[in-house]
């Protein structure tokens, strides 16, 4: 497994953890508290930093190599996929707001779009790297 | 995913070059081992520069390493 694939897996798992935590906190009231959101972000950042340090140390110098041409092409395609997901979410949120839907729903839809876009990007990256294309 | 129209003989040339590993070839070309593997399996077409570098490692003309087979 290449270094960029390992970091993608770490980001995907950290984001899944953060999303699950957010949904658990937001479900009863429609939106979590500010302190809860700060905690989610801090834990996610710490988990990613620690995990990346560990794979960097265990990776025997792979981490500093940068992306090669194939990896750059895969990342570029993944970024495009993520952009379209984010754009769809953003336009849907704007439409719902204009139709008079509640701000809590729109807020969660926007956050959900961000998370979905990131999942799409990471998923495309991992798939592209796994398939070799 | 449509197959690459460019075939290569990298695997055979690696073995002829003293059983060079994919990792060793990758380091000399400046790409990752996974990219060399993807090129050998026909899943990825390298850039022109990378193709010339691979040919240079084996000391062969590029047409002996890669062939266009649509």
Confidence at B5, pLDDT banded by 50, 70, 90: confident
Q: Do A68 and B46 touch (CB under 8 A)?
A: no
Q: Residue B3's pLDDT band (boundaries 50, 70, 90)?
A: low
Per-residue pLDDT averaged across B31-58, rounded? 94
Please state the rounded mean pLDDT for residues A18-35.
83
- As to burial, measured by CB atoms within 10 angstroms (0-12 exposed, 13-18 middle, 19+ buried), residue B53 is middle
* CA-closest candidate to residue A132, choices B41, B26, B54: B41
pLDDT in tens, A58-70: 877 666 668 899 9
pLDDT at A92: 94
Check CB contact under 8 Å for A70 and B41: no
How many whole angstroms separate alpha carbon A35 and alpha carbon A126? 32
* 3-state SS class at A91: helix
- How confident is the model over A83-125, as pLDDT tens digits? 999 999 999 999 999 999 888 888 889 999 999 999 999 999 9
By Cβ distance, the residue of B1, B41, B44 closest to A70 is: B44
Cβ-count burial B27-45 (b if 16+ within 10 Å, e if not): eebebbbbbbbbbbeebbb
What DSSP assignment string belongs to A21-37? HHHHHHTTTSS--HHHH
Which residue does chain B place closest to A5, by CA atoms?
B34
Q: What is the ipTM of this complex?
A: 0.83
Indicate the pLDDT class of residue B23, thresholds 50, 70 and 90.
very high
Given the structure tokens 């994919």, which residue do they identify? B22
Give mean pLDDT, residues B60-66. 95
Write down the pLDDT at residue B30: 93
Contact between chains at A69 and B43 (C-beta distance less than 8 A): no
Which of B6, B29, B32 to mutate against chain A (most A CBs within 10 Å)? Answer: B32
């Amino acid at each position: 497994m290449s270094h960029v694939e390992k970091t993608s897996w770490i980001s995907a798992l950290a984001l899944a953890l953060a999303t699950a935590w957010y949904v658990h906190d937001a479900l009863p009231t429609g939106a979590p508290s500010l302190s809860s959101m700060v905690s989610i972000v801090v834990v996610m950042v710490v988990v990613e930093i620690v995990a990346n340090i560990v794979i960097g140390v265990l990776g025997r110098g792979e981490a500093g190599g940068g992306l090669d041409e194939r990896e750059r092409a895969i990342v570029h395609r993944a970024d495009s996929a993520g952009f379209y997901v984010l754009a769809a979410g953003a336009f849907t949120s704007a439409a719902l707001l204009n139709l008079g839907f509640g701000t809590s729903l729109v807020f969660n839809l926007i956050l959900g779009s961000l998370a979905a876009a990131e999942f799409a990007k990471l998923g495309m990256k991992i798939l592209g790297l796994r398939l070799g294309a | 995913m449509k197959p690459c129209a460019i075939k290569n003989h990298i695997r055979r040339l690696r073995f002829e070059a003293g059983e060079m590993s994919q990792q060793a070839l990758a380091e000399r070309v400046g790409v990752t081992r996974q990219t060399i593997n993807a090129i050998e399996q026909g899943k990825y077409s390298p850039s022109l520069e990378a193709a010339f570098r691979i040919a240079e490692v084996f000391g062969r003309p590029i047409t002996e390493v890669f062939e266009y087979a649509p």
